[in-house]
């Protein structure tokens, strides 16, 4: 991809007599070498030849310079359109759009631009470099149309939901967003509630779930709720009760397939040794965790331990033939049990694949 | 169906609340419709004379709510449009107690009068999306079937719940009357003057810290259109009326070129309560709750039944911005210019660095 571009670079450099440019093409692949997905790198690369191939006068007609006579003189020697220039221009355009409100928010408050530009890059650092996450079975998540992704919850803080949504978005061929359903406690808290909405979350209730599924979205749900994330380290990877199975009836009513997903690694990030119940009651929280580092080390204890993560999507369970039994408790509980068993068994096989929780 | 009225359009229409902006415009529009014979505007005796030029073809009657009963029967009324609602306490006109008098007692008396009007066959009531209450467990989007989970703290929200309760009672007692309840999102537009338009007209806009509610607006002209169609056509039932789409509050403030000033929620509630007891400011707990929770409704039932889609929330807001461009702190052009300035600054610095090192 970068071959022809680099070859052309020294030519144009020669024309402008700026020898400093020589190390630049070197530096770029090194940076790219890191982890930028090919799909994202491609458009920036292919766009490059156009300005460099044209005569020196035309680059100033590039969108960045249009209508700015004052800045043309240095801008020409700067070659508008080089890598950093585009990065800066894109960043500034993004800031301008944010500050003038030129973006779209859907009826649940989901802000895809902000999610793509800010939240997913941060989560990418976390799941790729810190947790070394391996994702398998992504082909079990449909490319289009609705699906209900049901996972095991763990980790004292519901980080696994965010990691799952970011990893799925990056690894899935259609780069689908996972719309998470969260407990109402999340939406009671200022700031947190808005972060949840902006990244595509909404309150876990049947009307919202059915509306999202009816609109063809991918919905993520963790039926264990606080029982899952608030369990002690000794109980790791033991699935808790699945509540009333409200998620199953939402799937049945809309005829949506259920995709169970097993997440290994979340339990070790904040190993919860004890739960100070009186303090939790005082703070109106479902539990107050004590981990080896929290609250002992204070804010430092909030850094998650670098466990090794494995995420596996299981084959979808079709529900289209059961649409009429959405209110039948027997069908709902059976299906919930089936999902639960699938996740539990997948967890065991994944754990066998990962003998050392903090391995490479 | 009834004499003096063509295919659903009623002959004699009574509009309440013609002393206010919405009522005056609805009455004037109905009076201009040739299908309607007579438009009678009913108003409280102490109402102002702001809209008299608009109402030259409307017969105006100023009566107390208590005297309505006989009036409706005497006038042989076919349809009643009840718009006399006060959305926020006005300290100059009796504050909250006068507001409750108007919204709850006034509506009760109006419905009692309607019940006794023998020829009445259509009732259109203005309600609000505040009927859904506020709760953290609320679904993101309300449909007409959604039941409120918690009684709202704000006075207007409670009044609306009471009003809708009375309309339910009326429907039971007079099943022969086509009753339409329209749950309107907050009005906005180029000319309308409401609590929200005043709010967004300030250069610095207070918001609740850590909350960015999703809002919907309804363009005032679309509200008029829906009300008009409710009278000349038959649309029994309850409908959400709002501009499709959503603006978050921060986004709306940025689009209007204003500056948001986040305030901690207890502080804001306290300030609202203080302002109310001191008798100034029109912001109440209704507004605070709206700015904590936001409110989005589903309008598909309206679109199906009326065959009409109001302009989107973003378009309605755009129209409002165009009309209220004074007091803008940051304009779009300034932002674009700043962007260009920074971009060129960086280019120049980089070029200079490169030159020096060469």
Q: Are residues A21 and A150 in the same domain?
A: no
Parent domain of A218: 112-269+304-353
Residue B246 and residue A106: Cβ atoms within 8 Å? yes
Does residue A299 sit within a domain? Answer: no
Q: Are residues A52 and A174 in the same domain?
A: no
Cβ of residue A87 closer than 8 Å to a chain B Cβ: no
Q: Is the dihedral of CA B69, B71, B76, B82 positive or negative?
A: negative
The string over A271-310, giving b where at least 16 C-beta atoms fall within 10 Å of a residue's C-beta and e elsewhere, is bbeebeeeeeeeeeeebbbbbebbeeeeeebeebbbbbbb
Q: Are residues A116 and A76 in the same domain?
A: no
Residues 6 or more apart whose Cβ sits within 8 Å of residue B276 = B89, B95, B96, B284
Q: Are residues A213 and A329 in the same domain?
A: yes
Provide, as residue numbers in chain B, all residues whose Cβ is less than 8 Å from the Cβ of A111.
248
Provide, as residue numbers in chain A, all residues whose Cβ is less than 8 Å from the Cβ of B325.
none
Residue B139 and residue A96: Cβ atoms within 8 Å? no
Nearest to B296 among A84, A96, A107 (CB): A107
3-class SS at B182? strand
Six token digits for residue B105: 């007692």
Q: Are residues A163 and A32 in the same domain?
A: no
Q: How confident is the model at residue A10 (pLDDT cuts 50, 70, 90)?
A: very low
Residue A93 and residue B214: Cβ atoms within 8 Å? no
Alpha-carbon distance of B11 to B80, in angstroms, equals 11
Average pLDDT, chain A: 81
Does residue A290 sit within a domain? Answer: no
User: What are the residue ranges of helices labelled H in chain B?
Assistant: 21-31, 68-74, 95-100, 107-116, 155-173, 195-201, 220-232, 249-255, 265-278, 285-293, 300-306, 313-323, 332-357
Cα of A206 to nearest chain B Cα, Å: 8
Q: Which one has a higher pLDDT value, B269 or A29? A: B269
Q: Are residues A256 and A327 in the same domain?
A: yes
Q: How confident is the model at residue A6 (pLDDT cuts 50, 70, 90)?
A: very low
Residue A100 and residue B255: Cβ atoms within 8 Å? yes
End position of a domain, from candidates A78, A100, A122: A100
| CATH code of the domain containing A149 | 3.40.1130.10
Residues 6 or more apart whose Cβ sits within 8 Å of residue B11 = B2, B3, B4, B5, B36, B37, B38, B78
Q: Which residue pairs from B193-197 have beta carbons closer than 8 angstroms and sit at least 24 positions apart in sequence?
A: B193/B21, B194/B87, B195/B87, B195/B88, B195/B282, B195/B283, B195/B287, B197/B320, B197/B324
Residues 6 or more apart whose Cβ sits within 8 Å of residue B264 = B208, B209
Alpha-carbon distance of B255 to B247, in angstroms, equals 10
Cα of A155 to nearest chain B Cα, Å: 24
Mean pLDDT of B272-283: 60
Cα of B65 to nearest chain A Cα, Å: 40
- The pLDDT, as a whole number, for residue B8 is 66
State the CB neighbour count (10 A cutoff) for residue A191. 11
How many residue contacts between A and B have a Cβ separation below 8 Å? 130
User: What are the residue ranges of helices labelled H in A241-322?
Assistant: 246-254, 277-282
Q: Are residues A58 and A119 in the same domain?
A: no
What tens digit of pLDDT does each residue of A217-259 get?
999 999 999 899 999 999 999 999 888 888 999 999 999 999 9
Q: Are residues A211 and A85 in the same domain?
A: no
pLDDT of residue A318 exceeding 80: yes
H or E element at residue B80: strand B79-82
What tens digit of pLDDT does each residue of B132-171 get?
988 899 999 999 999 988 888 888 999 999 999 999 999 9
Compute CA distances A39 → A45, A116, A342, whole Å.
Answer: 11, 14, 33
Alpha-carbon distance of A21 to B351, in angstroms, equals 11
For the ranges A259-263, B98-102, B265-269, the maximum mean pLDDT occurs at A259-263
Compute CA distances B274 → A209, B277, B278, B281, whole Å.
Answer: 40, 5, 6, 10
**Residue pointed to by tokens 């259509």:** B122
Alpha-carbon distance of A313 to A316, in angstroms, equals 9
Give how many domains chain A has, as a whole number: 2
Residue B251 and residue A101: Cβ atoms within 8 Å? yes
Provide, as residue numbers in chain B, all residues whose Cβ is less than 8 Å from the Cβ of A180.
none
- The pLDDT, as a whole number, for residue A217 is 95
Q: Which residue of A has its CA nearest to B244?
A: A107
What pTM was estimated for this model as a whole? 0.82
Q: Are residues A232 and A343 in the same domain?
A: yes
Does residue A294 sit within a domain? Answer: no
What tens digit of pLDDT does each residue of B289-308 get?
888 899 999 999 999 999 99
Alpha-carbon distance of A207 to B141, in angstroms, equals 8
Optimal mutation site among A56, A69, A74, A79, interface B, most CBs of chain B within 10 A:
A74
The beta strand positions in chain A, using DSSP E, are 134-136, 147-151, 178-182, 202-203, 218-221, 258-264, 274-275, 289-290, 310-313
Provide, as residue numbers in chain A, all residues whose Cβ is less than 8 Å from the Cβ of B355.
18, 77
Residue A101 and residue B139: Cβ atoms within 8 Å? no
B202 conformational bin, left if phi > 0, alpha if psi -120 to 50, beta if neither: beta
Find, among A168, A174, A170, A175, the residue nearest to A36 by Cα.
Answer: A170
Does residue A285 sit within a domain? Answer: no
Cβ of residue A195 closer than 8 Å to a chain B Cβ: no
Q: Are residues A127 and A201 in the same domain?
A: yes
What tens digit of pLDDT does each residue of A81-139 get?
678 888 888 899 999 999 989 999 999 999 999 999 999 999 999 999 999 999 999 99
Q: How confident is the model at residue B284 (pLDDT cuts 50, 70, 90)?
A: confident
| Rg of chain A, C-alpha, whole Å | 24
Q: Is the dihedral of CA A66, A68, A69, A71 positive or negative?
A: negative
Whether the bond into A295 is cis, omega within 30 of 0:
yes
Residue A191 and residue B210: Cβ atoms within 8 Å? yes
The share of chain B scoring above pLDDT 90, in percent, equals 48
Q: Are residues A32 and A170 in the same domain?
A: no
Cβ of residue A198 closer than 8 Å to a chain B Cβ: yes
Domain ranges (residues) in chain B:
12-327
Q: Which residue of A has its CA nearest to B259?
A: A99
For B12-327, give the CATH class: alpha beta
Q: Are residues A154 and A90 in the same domain?
A: no
């Amino acid at each position: 991809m970068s071959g022809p571009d680099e070859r052309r670079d020294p030519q144009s450099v020669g024309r402008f007599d700026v020898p400093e440019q020589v190390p630049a093409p070197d530096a770029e692949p090194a940076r790219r070498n890191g982890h930028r997905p090919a799909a994202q790198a491609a458009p920036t690369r292919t766009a490059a030849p156009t300005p460099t191939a044209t005569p020196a006068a035309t680059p100033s007609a590039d969108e960045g310079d249009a209508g700015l006579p004052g800045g043309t003189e240095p801008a020409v020697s700067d070659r508008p359109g080089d890598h950093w220039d585009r990065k800066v221009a894109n960043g500034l355009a993004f800031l301008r759009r944010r500050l003038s409100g030129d973006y779209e928010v859907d009826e649940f408050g989901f802000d895809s631009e902000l999610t793509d530009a800010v939240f997913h890059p941060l989560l990418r650092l976390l799941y790729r470099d810190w947790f070394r996450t391996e994702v398998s079975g992504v082909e079990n998540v449909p490319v289009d149309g609705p699906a209900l992704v049901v996972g095991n919850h763990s980790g004292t803080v519901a980080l696994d939901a965010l990691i799952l949504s970011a990893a799925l978005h990056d690894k899935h061929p259609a780069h689908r967003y996972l719309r998470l359903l969260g407990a109402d406690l999340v939406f009671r808290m200022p700031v947190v509630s808005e972060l949840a909405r902006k990244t595509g979350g909404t309150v876990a209730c049947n009307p919202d779930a059915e509306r999202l599924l009816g609109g063809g979205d991918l919905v993520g749900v963790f039926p264990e709720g606080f029982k899952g994330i608030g369990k002690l380290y000794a109980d790791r990877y033991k699935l808790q009760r699945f509540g009333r199975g409200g998620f199953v009836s939402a799937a049945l009513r809309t005829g949506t397939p259920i995709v169970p997903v097993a997440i290994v690694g979340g339990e070790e990030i904040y190993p919860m040794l004890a739960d100070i119940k009186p303090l939790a009651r005082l703070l109106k929280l479902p539990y107050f965790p004590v981990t080896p580092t929290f609250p002992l080390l204070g804010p430092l204890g909030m850094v998650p331990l670098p466990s090794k993560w494995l995420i596996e999507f299981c084959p979808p369970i079709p529900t289209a033939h059961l649409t009429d039994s959405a209110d039948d408790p027997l069908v709902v509980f059976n299906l919930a049990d089936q999902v639960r068993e699938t996740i539990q068994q997948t967890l065991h096989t994944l754990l066998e694949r990962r003998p050392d929780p903090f391995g490479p | 169906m009834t004499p003096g009225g063509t295919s659903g359009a009623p002959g004699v229409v009574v509009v309440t609340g013609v002393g206010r902006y919405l009522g005056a415009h609805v009455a004037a529009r109905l009076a201009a419709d040739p299908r309607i014979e007579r438009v009678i505007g009913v108003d409280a005796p102490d109402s102002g004379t702001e809209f008299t030029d608009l109402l030259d073809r409307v017969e105006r009657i100023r009566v107390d709510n208590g005297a309505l009963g006989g009036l409706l029967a005497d006038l042989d009324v076919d349809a009643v449009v009840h718009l006399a609602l006060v959305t926020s306490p006005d300290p100059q006109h009796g504050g909250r107690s006068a507001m409750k008098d108007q919204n709850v007692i006034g509506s009760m008396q109006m419905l009692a009068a309607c019940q006794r009007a023998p020829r009445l066959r259509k009732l259109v009531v203005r309600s609000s999306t505040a009927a859904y209450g506020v709760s953290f467990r609320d679904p993101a989007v309300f449909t007409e079937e959604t039941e409120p989970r918690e009684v709202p703290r704000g006075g207007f929200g409670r009044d609306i719940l009471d009003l809708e309760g009375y309309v339910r009672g009326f429907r039971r007692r007079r099943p022969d009357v086509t009753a339409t309840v329209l749950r309107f999102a907050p009005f906005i537009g180029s000319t309308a003057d409401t609590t929200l338009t005043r709010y967004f007209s300030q250069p610095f806009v207070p918001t609740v810290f850590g909350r960015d509610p999703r809002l919907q607006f309804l363009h005032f002209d679309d509200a008029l259109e829906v009300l008009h169609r409710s009278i000349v056509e038959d649309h029994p039932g309850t409908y959400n009326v709002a501009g499709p789409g959503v603006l978050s509050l921060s986004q709306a403030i940025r689009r209007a070129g204003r500056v948001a000033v986040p305030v901690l929620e207890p502080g804001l509630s306290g300030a609202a309560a203080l302002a109310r007891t001191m008798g100034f400011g029109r912001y109440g707990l209704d507004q605070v709750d709206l700015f904590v929770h936001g409110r989005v409704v589903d309008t598909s039932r309206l679109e199906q039944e009326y065959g009409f889609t109001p302009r989107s929330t973003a378009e309605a807001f755009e129209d409002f911005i165009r009309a209220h461009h004074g007091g803008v702190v940051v304009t779009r052009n300034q932002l674009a210019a700043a962007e260009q300035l920074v971009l060129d600054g960086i280019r120049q610095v980089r070029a200079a660095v490169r030159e020096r090192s060469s």
